[in-house]
C-alpha cells in the first residue's frame, strides 16, 4: 500500500514538474517569436527585457532537464554530489539571469552586467573543489557565499531602483507603465524562495512550493514584459537648442531663471501643453526652446521636479473644471475630469492629488461641497 501511494505521489510530481517545464518552454517561444503584445497591444515593451526574460524561461526548462537527469537517470552515482552539482548549476545559470532581468527593467541607463557573472566565479570554484575532494566542508562555505552575494546584489539593486525613480520623476510627467517597484518586490520574493530551495535542500513539500513559485514567476514576468512601456529610445536623447550652449556650472543666474519661468508660463501653461499624455522633459525643452540641462537646473532651483510641475498644473486644471461643472450643474465623474486634465490613470491622479493637497480627491470634493 505504501509503495502504491509513493508511486502515485511520484507520478503526480512528475506530471506537475513536466507541466511547469512545458509552460516555461511555451512562454520562452512566445517571447522570442511573437511580435507585439497579446495582452496589452497598446504598450511597446523594452526589447532587451523581453529577450532576457525569454532566456530566463529557457534556463528554467534546462534546469528541469538536468534535475531529471541527476535525480531520475542518476548520471552521477553519488546522490550528495548530484545534489550539489544540480544546485550549483542553478546558482550559475538561474540566479544570474534572474538578476539581469531585474536590471533590464531599469531603463535610465544600461548598467554593466559583468559583475553579476564575475561574482559567481567563487561559486564555480567551490563546486569544483567539492567534486574533486568530496569534502562536505565546502557546502557551508557555498551557502555563506551565496547569502553574502545575494545581500550585496539587493543593496546594489535598491540603490539602482532609487536612481531610476529619480530619473523618471525628472523626465516623465506620467509614471504609469514606467515604475517597477511592485514588480521588483514580487520577483525578489520569488528569487528568495528559489535560492532558499537551492541552499537548504529538496524536501518534497518544498519542491511543490518551488514549482508553484515558478508558475507565479512566469505569470508575473509575462505581465511585466507586456505592461512595461519602453523608454530606452528616449533615455539617451538630449535636446539642445542651437542658440544655447551647454552650461558647465550647476547653478543658473537670476535672469535665466526668470526667462525660463516666463517661457514655461507662455508656452506650457497658457497653451495647456501639460494636458497632453506621456509628455517628456525633452518635449517641454523643444516647445520653450532650451536644453534639458537648463530646464533640469531650473526645476532644481524651484525645489521641484518635472513630474511634480506637470502634475501641479494638471491638478489645478482639474480643480478649475470641477468648479465650473459644479457651478453649471453639468453631470460628471472625477475619473472623466482627471482624464480631461491630462491623467491617463485615475490611480496616478489620486496619488498626485493627495501629495499636492494633503487629502484624497473624495475628501477634497466633500469639503468643497460642504
Which residues lie closer than 8 Å to 344 by C-beta, 6 or more apart?
174, 176, 277, 278
Instruction: Fill in the DSSP letter of residue 75.
Output: S
Predicted structure pTM score = 0.80
Length of the chain: 370
What pLDDT, on a 0 to 100 scale, did the predictor assign at position 196? 64
pLDDT at 329: 86
pLDDT computed for residue 340 by the predictor: 92
How high is the pLDDT of residue 121?
94
**Count of Cβ atoms closer than 10 Å to residue 6 Cβ:** 10
The closest of 128, 111, 129, 122 to 147, measured between CA atoms, is 122
Q: How far is residue 117's CA from residue 329's CA, in Å, rounded to a whole number? A: 64
Q: Is residue 278 within 8 Å of 344, Cβ to Cβ? A: yes
Give the integer Cα–Cα distance in Å for 238 and 291.
8
Query: Which of 159, 180, 163, 162 has its CA nearest to residue 45?
Result: 180
The whole-angstrom separation of Cα 260 and Cα 263 is 5
Q: pLDDT under 50 in the chain at which residues? A: 2, 5, 8, 234-248
Q: What's the pLDDT at 241? A: 39
**pLDDT for residue 198:** 57
CB atoms within 10 A of CB 355: 12
Q: How far does the chain reach from its first CA to its final CA, in angstroms? A: 74
Model pLDDT, residue 73: 67
Please give the DSSP secondary-structure letter assigned to residue 230: P
Amino acid at each position: 500500500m505504501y509503495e502504491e501511494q509513493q508511486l502515485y505521489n511520484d507520478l503526480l510530481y512528475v506530471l506537475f514538474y513536466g507541466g511547469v517545464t512545458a509552460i516555461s518552454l511555451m512562454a520562452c517561444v512566445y517571447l522570442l517569436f511573437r511580435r507585439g503584445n497579446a495582452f496589452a497591444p497598446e504598450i511597446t515593451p523594452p526589447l532587451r527585457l523581453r529577450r532576457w526574460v525569454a532566456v530566463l524561461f529557457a534556463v528554467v526548462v534546462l534546469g528541469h532537464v538536468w534535475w531529471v537527469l541527476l535525480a531520475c537517470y542518476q548520471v552521477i552515482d553519488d546522490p550528495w554530489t548530484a545534489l550539489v552539482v544540480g544546485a550549483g548549476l542553478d546558482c550559475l545559470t538561474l540566479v544570474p539571469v534572474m538578476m539581469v532581468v531585474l536590471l533590464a527593467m531599469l531603463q535610465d541607463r544600461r548598467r554593466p552586467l559583468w559583475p553579476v557573472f564575475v561574482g559567481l566565479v567563487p561559486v564555480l570554484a567551490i563546486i569544483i573543489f567539492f567534486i574533486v575532494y568530496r569534502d562536505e566542508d565546502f557546502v557551508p562555505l557555498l551557502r555563506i557565499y551565496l547569502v553574502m552575494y545575494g545581500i550585496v546584489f539587493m543593496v546594489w539593486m535598491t540603490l539602482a531602483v532609487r536612481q531610476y525613480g529619480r530619473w523618471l520623476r525628472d523626465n516623465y510627467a506620467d509614471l504609469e507603465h514606467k515604475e517597477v517597484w511592485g514588480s521588483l518586490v514580487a520577483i525578489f520574493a520569488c528569487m528568495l524562495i528559489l535560492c532558499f530551495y537551492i541552499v537548504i535542500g529538496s524536501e518534497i513539500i518544498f519542491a511543490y512550493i518551488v514549482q508553484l513559485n515558478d508558475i507565479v514567476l512566469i505569470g508575473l514576468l509575462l505581465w511585466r514584459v507586456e505592461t512595461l512601456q519602453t523608454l530606452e529610445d528616449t533615455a539617451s536623447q538630449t535636446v539642445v537648442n542651437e542658440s544655447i550652449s551647454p552650461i558647465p556650472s550647476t547653478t543658473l543666474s537670476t535672469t535665466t531663471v526668470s526667462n525660463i519661468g516666463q517661457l514655461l508660463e507662455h508656452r506650457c501653461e497658457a497653451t495647456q501643453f501639460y494636458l497632453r499624455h506621456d509628455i517628456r522633459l525633452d518635449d517641454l525643452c523643444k516647445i520653450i526652446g532650451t536644453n534639458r540641462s537648463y530646464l533640469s537646473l531650473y526645476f532644481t532651483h524651484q525645489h521641484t521636479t518635472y513630474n511634480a510641475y506637470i502634475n501641479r498644473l494638471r491638478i489645478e486644471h482639474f480643480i478649475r473644471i470641477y468648479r465650473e461643472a459644479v457651478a453649471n450643474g453639468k453631470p460628471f465623474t472625477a475619473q472623466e475630469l482627471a482624464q480631461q486634465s491630462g491623467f491617463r490613470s485615475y490611480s496616478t491622479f489620486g496619488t498626485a492629488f493627495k501629495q499636492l493637497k494633503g487629502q484624497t480627491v473624495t475628501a477634497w470634493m466633500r469639503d468643497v461641497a460642504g
